Chain A
Amino acid sequence: MSSALPVFASMVQPSPSPPDPVTATGGERPAGAADTTPATPEPLMPRIAAGDRAAVSQCLARYRGLVWSLARRSLADVGEAEDLVQEVFIELWRKADRFDPARGKETTFVAVLTRRRVIDRLRRKRTRPEPVEVATDQPGSSAGPDALAEIGDELGRVRAALAELRPDQADALRLAVCDGLTHAETAERLNLPLGTVKTHVRRGLQKLRDRLDAKGGES
Chain B
Amino acid sequence: MSGGSSGHPESPDAPETNPSDTEAKRLIDLLSDYAAGQTLTDDETTEMNLLLADHPELADDRFERAAALLAVAELPPPEAVGALPPRLAERLEADAERFFAEAPPEPLKFSPDTAPAAAVSRRGRAAWRVFLAGAIAGGVAAAVLVSAVVQIEDPPAAVQPIAELPPDQRFADYQRDTLGVAEHPWAVREPGYEQVTGRVAWSDAAQAGYLVFEGLPVNDPAETQYQLWIVDPQRDELPVDGGVFDVAEHLAADGRAYVPIDAKLPVASPAAFAVTVEKPGGVVRSAGPLVLVAPVS
Contact = CB atoms under 8 A, between A and B. Distances in A.
Given A136-B2, A167-B5, A210-B16, A155 B32 contact: no
Interface stretch (B47-55, B77-85, B113-121, B139-147): B77-85
A95 B70 CA distance: 23
Contacts of A138: 76-77
B85 A178 contact: no
A180 B37 contact: yes
Contact of A82 (B70, B85, B93, B105): B85
Contacts of A187: none
Interface string B2-28: 111110111101111100000000001
Nearest to B14: A203
A173 B63 CA distance: 13
B222 interface: no
A50 interface: yes
Interface string A164-184: 111100110111111010110
B75 interface: yes
Contacts of B5: 163, 165-167, 170
B71 A60 contact: no
Q: Is the interface of A mostly helix, strand, loop or mixed?
A: helix
Contact of A134 (B11, B38, B64, B77): B77
Nearest to A107: B72
Contacts of B87: 82
A133 B2 CA distance: 12
Nearest to A196: B13
B62 interface: yes
A75 to B, nearest CB: 11
Nearest to A111: B68
B80 A142 contact: yes
Contact of B95 (A69, A89, A142): A89
Contacts of B66: 158, 205, 208-209, 212
Given A136-B2, A142-B81, 17 more contacts: A49-B161, A56-B99, A60-B96, A69-B75, A69-B81, A85-B88, A86-B88, A139-B74, A154-B69, A170-B4, A171-B2, A176-B37, A177-B70, A183-B33, A205-B63, A206-B15, A208-B67
24 contacts: A49-B162, A89-B92, A90-B95, A93-B96, A94-B163, A108-B68, A111-B72, A116-B64, A136-B1, A139-B73, A139-B74, A148-B72, A158-B70, A164-B8, A164-B11, A166-B5, A166-B11, A171-B3, A174-B70, A202-B28, A202-B29, A205-B66, A206-B17, A214-B16
Q: Which 5 A-B pairs have the closest CB atoms?
A: A51-B105, A134-B76, A170-B4, A134-B80, A111-B68
Interface of B: 1-6, 8-11, 13-17, 28-29, 32-33, 35-39, 61-78, 80-85, 87-89, 91-93, 95-96, 99-100, 104-106, 159, 161-163, 165, 173, 177
